[in-house]
């Protein structure tokens, strides 16, 4: 399988397929991912977990909107403890590592590929609960503790399980630990191999991305530390 530059950057949505069983929400994946995800969801159900998708495919424009809102202070930015920080006194360059801990640079998001999925346990959601996607939700005493323990048992001692793995299972100072994030190995690898820093940097230079000057000036460090 070869991925085009447009697919890698999240600019080509053709060929994606809708995931059944998502209620009114439309969640899309690469067709090679769908069968394995349905089987993965069925395995979860056998353990009492109603596996639901918080996010699957997310195109470049959607990622760009999220990024711009965070850079402009229209969405919260979190510290390493998932606590909201005040960014009003920070320069664009100083904001970058805080944002990149939890939010991928547009063009570099694994969600562009239709291979990566953020999951939670719908059966553990209390009425009115607002999903946050923070590690505490999947830890002891969190609402998704059962799912967290299940994913840990499947992934922590293996490189993958059921065709998936967790790309952010260890916090090495770049992207934060994301217990909810699973990635389809074959599909993600094909896209990752087609991704290059020159491709991303040249495209971002032409976009209306907030903090563009700081991003381009610090791009090599961003790539080294935060792009997987």
Q: Residue 158 above 80 pLDDT?
A: no
What is the structure's pLDDT at 81?
81
Q: Residue 157 above 80 pLDDT?
A: no
Q: What is the mean pLDDT of residues 152-167?
A: 87
In the chain, DSSP assigns E strands to 17-18, 28-29, 51-55, 116-121, 164-165, 181-184
CB-based contact 12:61 (threshold 8 Å): no
- Measured CA to CA, the distance from residue 30 to residue 6 in angstroms comes to 14
Q: What is the pLDDT of residues 172-216, one digit of tens each?
A: 889 999 999 999 999 999 999 999 999 999 999 999 999 999 999
In sequence order, which residues have a C-beta less than 8 Å from that of residue 193 and are 6 or more positions away?
Answer: 3
In sequence order, which residues have a C-beta less than 8 Å from that of residue 176 and are 6 or more positions away?
Answer: 80, 101, 102, 135, 168
- Beta bridge partners of residue 51, listed in sequence order: 121
Reported as a pLDDT band with limits 50, 70 and 90, residue 79 is confident
Reported as a pLDDT band with limits 50, 70 and 90, residue 1 is confident
**DSSP, res 192:** H
Q: Residue 113 above 70 pLDDT?
A: yes
Q: Residue 221 above 80 pLDDT?
A: yes
Structure tokens at 17: 């397929």
In 22-177, DSSP assigns E strands to 28-29, 51-55, 116-121, 164-165
- Measured CA to CA, the distance from residue 204 to residue 184 in angstroms comes to 26
Instruction: State the average pLDDT for the chain.
Output: 95
What is the structure's pLDDT at 24?
85
Residue ranges of domains in the chain, CATH in brackets? 5-226 (3.30.1380.10)
Reported as a pLDDT band with limits 50, 70 and 90, residue 22 is very high
Q: Residue 156 above 80 pLDDT?
A: no
- Rounded to two decimals, what is the model's pTM? 0.94
What is the structure's pLDDT at 2?
85
What is the structure's pLDDT at 145?
98
Structure tokens at 213: 């000057």
Q: Residue 228 above 80 pLDDT?
A: no
What is the structure's pLDDT at 136?
94
């Amino acid at each position: 399988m070869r991925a085009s530059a447009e697919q890698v950057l999240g600019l080509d949505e053709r060929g994606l397929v809708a995931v059944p069983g998502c209620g009114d929400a439309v969640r899309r994946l690469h067709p090679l991912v769908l069968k394995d995800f349905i089987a993965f969801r069925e395995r979860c159900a056998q353990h009492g977990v109603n596996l639901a998708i918080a996010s699957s495919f997310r195109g470049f424009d959607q990622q760009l909107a999220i990024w711009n809102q965070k850079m402009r202070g229209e969405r919260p930015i979190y510290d390493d403890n998932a606590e909201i920080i005040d960014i009003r006194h920070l320069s664009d360059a100083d904001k970058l590592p805080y944002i990149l801990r939890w939010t991928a640079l547009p063009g570099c998001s694994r969600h562009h590929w239709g291979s990566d999925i953020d999951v939670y346990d719908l059966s553990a959601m209390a009425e009115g609960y607002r999903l946050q996607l923070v590690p505490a939700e999947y830890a002891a005493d969190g609402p998704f503790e059962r799912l967290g323990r299940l994913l840990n048992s499947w992934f922590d001692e293996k490189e993958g399980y059921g065709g998936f793995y967790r790309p952010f299972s260890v916090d090495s100072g770049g992207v934060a630990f994301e217990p909810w994030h699973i990635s389809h190995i074959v599909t993600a690898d094909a896209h990752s191999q087609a991704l290059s820093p020159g491709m991303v940097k040249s495209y971002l230079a032409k976009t209306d991305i907030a903090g563009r000057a700081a991003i381009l000036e610090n791009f090599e460090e961003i790539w080294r530390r935060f792009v997987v």
